[in-house]
């Protein structure tokens, strides 16, 4: 069995984790080892949540998405009001939240992580990205992945630990102040760009 060594740099991991709270990332799936297929992705990642999915291309772009809901193969859209897609551009995390939560994720068996059928990592069982910005996630394709849709790697990480983002959303839904129940800083005003 091959050792799973993350391609995602420690700086990138820290930056993503800073958006999610007191968490760490556990590598579940690495396409170069497990296969660039929907079946390989689903075998290792279904029913695991929350997750961070990351794509890499030969042009040096690192991009992906966060899902608080587990992946499956139902063929249905899944509501996820915490989902976002991201890219590391010029040393900064560019974060693009979902603009239509009921269509945040699409659960297809023949693809990898599918963010609203807007950005798909491993499309049609091929090492390619499908990208159509605008419907549920608004991003500039050139900034997201440099219009280089061929993947050199795809990784999926399970997010482990207490997610401050999830806590804040739960408190917001209950109409409570985060500071009343937790010393965690108020994360409802999360910055869109973080330098590292």
Task: Give the pLDDT score at 165.
Answer: 52
- pTM score: 0.82
In a domain, 3, yes or no: no
pLDDT at 181: 38
**Whether the Cβ atoms of residue 168 and residue 64 lie closer than 8 Å to each other:** no
- Tell me the three state secondary structure of residue 178: helix
Determine the structural domain holding residue 97 and report its residue range: 11-181
Report the alpha-carbon distance of residue 45 to residue 53 in Å, rounded: 10
Q: Is residue 188 part of a domain?
A: no
Q: Is 192 a domain residue?
A: no
- Structurally, the chain folds into a number of domains equal to 1
**Tens digit of each residue's pLDDT (9 = 90 or more) over 132-185:** 998 899 999 999 999 999 999 999 999 999 755 555 555 455 555 444 433 333
Residue 111 counted as domain residue: yes
Burial of residue 45 (number of CB atoms within 10 Å: 0-12, 13-18, 19+): buried
pLDDT of residue 186: 35
Q: How far apart are CA 149 and CA 152, in angstroms?
A: 10
Residue 112 falls within a domain, yes or no? yes
**Residue 110 included in any domain:** yes
Percent of the chain whose pLDDT exceeds 70? 81
Residue 187 lies in a domain: no
Query: Chain centroid to CA 106: how far?
Result: 13
Report yes or no on 161 lying in a domain.
yes
Give yes or no for residue 108 having a pLDDT over 90: yes
**Segment (H or E) for 107:** none
Q: What is residue 62's three-state secondary structure?
A: strand
- Averaged pLDDT score across all residues of the chain: 86
Confidence of residue 2 (pLDDT cuts 50, 70, 90): low
């Amino acid at each position: 069995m091959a050792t799973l060594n993350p391609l995602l740099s420690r700086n990138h991991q820290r930056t993503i984790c800073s958006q999610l709270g007191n968490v760490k990332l556990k590598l579940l799936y690495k396409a170069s080892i497990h296969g660039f297929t929907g079946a390989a992705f689903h075998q290792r990642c279904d029913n695991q949540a929350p997750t961070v999915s990351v794509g890499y291309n030969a042009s040096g772009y690192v991009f992906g998405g966060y899902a608080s809901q587990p992946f499956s193969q139902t063929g249905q859209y899944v509501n996820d009001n915490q989902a976002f897609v991201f890219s590391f551009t010029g040393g900064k995390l560019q974060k693009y939240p979902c603009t239509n939560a009921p269509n945040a994720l699409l659960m297809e068996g023949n693809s990898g992580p599918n963010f609203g059928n807007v950005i798909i990592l491993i499309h049609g069982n091929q090492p390619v990205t499908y990208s159509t910005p605008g419907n549920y996630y608004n991003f500039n394709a050139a900034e997201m992945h440099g219009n280089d849709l061929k993947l050199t790697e795809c990784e999926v990480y399970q997010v482990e630990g207490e997610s401050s983002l999830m806590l804040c959303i739960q408190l917001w839904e209950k109409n409570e102040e985060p500071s009343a129940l937790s010393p965690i800083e108020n994360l409802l005003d999360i910055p869109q760009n973080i330098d590292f």
